[in-house]
A and B are shown apart, each in its own frame.
Chain A
Amino acid sequence: MMTLELYNYWVVIFLMMAGFYMLIASNHLIRKIIGLNIFQTSVFMLYISLGKVAGGTAPIAAEGIDTYSNPLPHVLILTAIVVGISTTSLALALVIRIKESYDTVNEDEILEIDRIADEEGSSA
């Protein structure tokens, strides 16, 4: 079953591209962050898919089991998830500050406000 052998990876690529699309096609900052989060989860999915072994079980040693899935990707992704939420919250905190300064979270409007401020600054 050639298609199912690579199905996991194709779903990973779809999620990655969906997140990428949200990031570049949207001008709303929170949508961009959500796009990044989807991208991030797709990478998690890739690592965990790579770690799965046919006939294996969760990597916790027990009697009578000799095939385990690869524990290394699990470790990397476990910590990455917690780091991911920390960095996401940092991004959201920046968005809140931008909202307070510019009264908008729309990228185009922010750039427009910056441009007007620059022109006023240079003419003054």
Chain B
Amino acid sequence: MSNINLLIDVVLLTMLVLTTIAIVRLDSLFAIVMLTGVFSLLAANIFVVLDAVDVAFTEAAVGAGISTVLMLATIGITGYEQKRRRKISWIAPLTVVMITGAVLVYGTLDMPAFTDPTAPIHQHVAPRFINESPTEVGIPNMVTSVLASYRGYDTMGEVIVVFAALIGVLSLLGIRRNTEEYEYSEPPARPVLQVMSKFLIPFIILFALYVQFHGDFGPGGGFQAGVIFAVAIILYALTFSQQDAMDLVPPKLLKILASLGVLIYGGTGVVSMLKGGNFLDYNVLAHDPIHGQHYGILVIEFGVGLTVACVMMLIFFAFISRGDKNP
């Protein structure tokens, strides 16, 4: 790692530490939530410096985008004001934290130096992924190869977890349609924002599609694309109204599509079994193994993108429709 990169890394990490101190010390929930957005953006920058471009992509879209919106929606319901904290002793927690931290720091002294190429983590499995995946799977982005092909089974589990979380949120909150008419009679309250977002939304959606289908060659893939697509609709819902957004993408349709995404993923596995291979073994999907891998990855990434986008939109709808009920 060149010196300038190391310097950038150290400076960004220090900024992250300062942001964290501010988050821990502040009382205002609103300020804390805003700072967590800053925190995520800094984290995304650090991921870029550490070569994890796909991760940075995801963190920027999820942490700074959706997470902040959901947190704001929640404190909109629970109240911005934090009741005066009871004078709890901070000594006991601080002692516990200090001792744990000291033990962990002691543990790091045995760790291989940062960026050391001979560290154990780089000796096992990783060389295979780095050296073989461009020829074996046939796509340049190794993260996508590992995500969708080598560890496709694992990723399917992750998609199912995301889907299960959606089921949890919907059974806890549900989505209510606001049937009262007064929202329509109101004149547009934010003309500048509305016009600007109308300019932006098509480009955000186009970008999401690019990230989805270019994920084999550059940073990107179904997870990132799904989140970015959802952000476009969330922007629409925030600048216009929840009702408008729900008319555009009806929650009923989203529920079907979210399940369809998981079905596409699992179905690809079943098809590869029917064709005589193992579950999610794409080699058998076409006559040429490389082509099979291409088809397989394209299809399951589409399933991932579909599920993630629909889940994020539905969770957002669930949160803001709950907010309308509690003015």
List residues of A whose CB falls within 8 A of some B CB.
4-11, 13-18, 20-22, 24-28, 30-31, 34, 37-38, 41, 44-45, 48-62, 67-75, 77-90, 92-97, 99-100, 104-106, 108
| Interface majority SS (helix, strand, loop, mixed), chain B | helix
A91 to B155, CA, bound (A): 22
Are A87 and B319 within 8 A (Cβ)? no
Known: A20-B97, A49-B114. A11 touches B16 (CB 8 A): yes
30 residue pairs from A and B, CB less than 8 Å apart: A4-B10, A7-B114, A8-B114, A9-B108, A14-B20, A17-B100, A17-B104, A38-B23, A44-B43, A44-B59, A45-B43, A51-B52, A58-B53, A59-B141, A68-B51, A69-B52, A70-B130, A75-B151, A78-B54, A78-B221, A81-B59, A82-B58, A82-B158, A85-B67, A86-B161, A86-B311, A87-B161, A89-B70, A89-B319, A97-B172
Question: In the assembled complex, which residues on chain A have CB atoms less than 8 Å from the CB atom of B23?
Answer: 18, 22, 34, 38
Known: A6-B108, A61-B142. A79 touches B158 (CB 8 A): yes
Question: In the assembled complex, which residues on chain B have CB atoms less than 8 Å from the CB atom of A61?
Answer: 133-134, 140-142
Are B223 and A95 within 8 A (Cβ)? no
Least CB distance from A77 to B in Å reads 5
Are A78 and B172 within 8 A (Cβ)? no
Are B17 and A85 within 8 A (Cβ)? no
Q: List residues 109-137 of chain B with CB under 8 A from any CB of chain A.
A: 109, 111, 113-117, 119, 121-122, 125-126, 129-130, 133-134
Q: At the interface, yes or no: B270 with Cβ under 8 Å from chain A?
A: no
A116 to B129, CA, bound (A): 59
Are A34 and B32 within 8 A (Cβ)? yes
A97 to B174, CA, bound (A): 11
| Interface majority SS (helix, strand, loop, mixed), chain A | helix
Are B71 and A30 within 8 A (Cβ)? yes
Are B52 and A48 within 8 A (Cβ)? yes
Known: A60-B142, A89-B315. A18 touches B223 (CB 8 A): no
Stretch in B80-88, B184-192, B239-247 with 4+ CB within 8 Å of A: B80-88
**How many positions in chain B have a CB within 8 Å of any CB in the partner chain?**
106
Known: A60-B142, A79-B223, A86-B166. A70 touches B78 (CB 8 A): no
Are A70 and B74 within 8 A (Cβ)? no
Question: In the assembled complex, which residues on chain B have CB atoms less than 8 Å from the CB atom of A10?
Answer: 105, 108
Question: In the assembled complex, which residues on chain B have CB atoms less than 8 Å from the CB atom of A7?
Answer: 10, 13, 114
Q: At the interface, yes or no: B290 with Cβ under 8 Å from chain A?
A: no
